[in-house]
Amino acid sequence: MPRGNTRTTLFVPPTPPYAVSGSGPYVLDQRGHRVIDCNNNYTALIHGHAFAPVEKAVAEQLPHGTAFGLPTETEVQLAELLASRTGLPMWRFSNSGTEAVMTAVRAARAATGRELLVRFEGSYHGTSDAVVAANAPGVPEAVAGTSLALPQGDAEALREVMRTRGDEVAAVLIDIMPNRAGLVPAAAEFVTLVRELTRQHGALMIVDEVITFRIAEGGLHREYGIEPDLMTVGKVIGGGFPVGGLGGTAEVMAIFDPLRELGVSWGGTFSANPMSMIAGRVALEHFTAEAIERLNSLGDQLRSGLTEAGIAVSGRGSLTRIREDVDLPRLWWALYGEGVLAGTNGLLALSTPMTDDHVHTVTTAVVTAVRGLRGGNQ
Ligand code: PMP
């Protein structure tokens, strides 16, 4: 394997440790080092590892089959739950957020009969051609030419594009708190402007909540009081299993109607497999408004502790980014040595089995790690 593993997104030089097991908020690696998991598989594991209700539900399904060449009730149940939380009535599932976003973009293009996708610089929307940087190796120029990346929050740039090319725009794709771009929540006025301008020009608004769905019941966009045409989810809605989901208005989602002429096809041998659907439903049933509020307040506690110690952070709710000008792989290793597994970009994602004590330990570890790096022990 190139550099010994599959995911570029979790590679740290010279090579990351390999995980052996996880339990609640902890992960054990192959050297016997136990860390508090603030990576949580890049924010997906909202209940940490081996969450008992998910384990039980999945174990009950296992002897009855894991995937079928027929639909199952389990996908309907997860779709109903998501519909009730988000207000978006129609859903479909995939095995990753990448596929959900890719299909959302195709749906928007098919539904509007337009090609141009407007998105924002620095936001990560998975690995499909339509949403990676125009100069990414392997992306054909012709494909890169069908999307436009604007600076997030730049109202003037957005107004200008919509004014001059609005009738070419199929959709504006936005992550309201983009992790890669710094985990800074978008201003309410900007999000509202995206909604207004897309409506005005007959384009769709796609909100990518693959990460931010864990911040608020039904997703972060609910806190902004806007109604997107399409919404992508993933990560937490799979309860630890592979998943992606696309929700939308009945009007737009009708593009997937198999009986519709010139509709968009949606495949995926393992899409909506019962293991992911059951695990996701049970995980979400335990991720109630109260649980979200408690977890988010642990995040507030973490950020205020770090800020008081002079560490620069961004984020909201259960998601925090360390915003220090230090070498990121060194920061990652320093944190790991202090007993904290972070994202390779300094992301810290909390999980429900964590307590005040865990947050305190994580705070101390971050302070020690950052001060060590700033002190020139680099
Ligand atoms: N959109 C966003 C906002 C994401 O953060 C991610 C993954 N980090 C994706 C899409 C892609 O999801 P996946 O990794 O499940 O393909």
9, 99, 120, 125: residue to mutate for ligand 1 pocket, most atoms within 8 A of CB: 125
Report whether pLDDT(261) > 80: yes
Average pLDDT for the chain:
97
Lookup: tokens for 267: 């495949």
Pocket of ligand 1 (CB under 6 A): 42, 96-98, 101, 124-126, 175, 179, 208, 210-211, 234, 244
Residues contacting residue 23 through CB under 8 Å, at least 6 positions apart: 48, 49, 50
Instruction: Give me the mean pLDDT over the 360-375 stretch.
Output: 96
Q: Which residues, at least 6 apart from 9, have a Cβ–Cβ distance to it below 8 Å? A: 42, 344
Distances (CA, A) of 188 to 74, 124, 285: 36, 20, 29
What local confidence, expressed as pLDDT, does residue 134 receive? Answer: 86
Residue 86 to residue 275: CA distance in whole angstroms: 22
Instruction: Work out which ligand 1 atom sits closest to the CA atom of 209.
Output: 3
Cβ–Cβ under 8 Å, residues 251 and 89: no
Pocket test for ligand 1, best of 94, 173, 175, 235 (most atoms within 8 A of CB): 235
Q: Are 76 and 231 contacting, i.e. CB atoms less than 8 angstroms apart?
A: no
| Residue in 239, 171, 247 with CA at minimum distance from that of residue 209 | 247
* Lookup: tokens for 198: 């897309």
Q: Is the pLDDT of residue 375 over 80?
A: no
Q: What is the DSSP string of 266-299?
A: ---TTTT-HHHHHHHHHHHHTS-HHHHHHHHHHH
Distance 103 CA to ligand 1 centre (A): 13
- Asked if omega into 274 is within 30° of 0 (cis), the reply is no
Give the Å distance between the CA of 100 and the centre of ligand 1. Answer: 9
Instruction: Give the angle 337-343-348 at the CA atoms, nearest 5°.
Output: 90
Which three-class secondary structure string do you get for 80-137?
HHHHHHHCCCEEEEECCHHHHHHHHHHHHHHHHCCCEEEEECCCCCCCCHHHCCCCCC
Question: In terms of Cα–Cα distance, which of 215, 188, 193, 219 is closest to 205?
Answer: 193
Q: What is the pLDDT of residues 276-312, one digit of tens each?
A: 999 999 999 999 999 999 999 999 999 999 999 999 9
Spacing, Cα 234 to ligand 1 middle (Å): 7
275-305 CB burial, b ≥16 within 10 A, e <16: bbbbbbbbbbebbeeeebeebbebbebbbeb
DSSP 218-254: T-GGGGGT---SEEEEEGGGGTTS--EEEEE-HHHHG
Residue numbers annotated as active site = 124, 208, 235
99 Cα nearest atom in ligand 1: 16
CATH architecture of 2-51+289-373: Alpha-Beta Complex (3.90)
Q: Structural domain boundaries of the chain?
A: 2-51+289-373, 65-286
Average of per-residue pLDDT across 347-374? 97
Contact by Cβ (8 Å): 312, 275 = no
Average of per-residue pLDDT across 330-339:
98
Residues with Cβ within 8 Å of residue 79, at least 6 apart in sequence? 90, 91, 92, 93
Residue nearest to atom 12 of ligand 1 (CA): 97
Cβ neighbours of residue 304 under 8 Å, at least 6 residues apart? none
- Convert the pLDDT of each residue in 39-87 to its tens digit: 999 999 999 999 999 999 999 999 999 999 999 999 999 999 999 999 9
Residue nearest to atom 7 of ligand 1 (CA): 126
Topology of the domain comprising 65-286: Aspartate Aminotransferase; domain 2 (3.40.640)
Distance from residue 142's CA to the centre of ligand 1 (Å): 24
Q: How far is the CA of 239 from the centre of ligand 1 (A)?
A: 15
* Confidence class for position 378, pLDDT limits 50, 70, 90: very low
Q: How far apart are CA 110 and CA 342, in angstroms?
A: 39
Q: Could you tell me which residue, 26 or 134, shows the higher pLDDT?
A: 26
- Which atom of ligand 1 sits closest to the CA of residue 242? 15
322-325 CB contacts, 8 Å cutoff, 24+ apart: 322/346, 322/348, 322/366, 322/370, 323/182, 324/370, 324/373, 324/374
Pocket test for ligand 1, best of 210, 211, 344 (most atoms within 8 A of CB): 210
Q: Which residues contact 267 (CB under 8 A, 6 or more apart)?
A: none
Residue pair 229/206 in contact by the 8 Å Cβ criterion: yes
Atom of ligand 1 nearest to the CA of 97: 12
Query: Quick one: what percent of the chain has pLDDT higher than 90?
Result: 98
Q: What is the pLDDT of residue 376?
A: 61
Q: How far is the CA of 261 from the centre of ligand 1 (A)?
A: 31
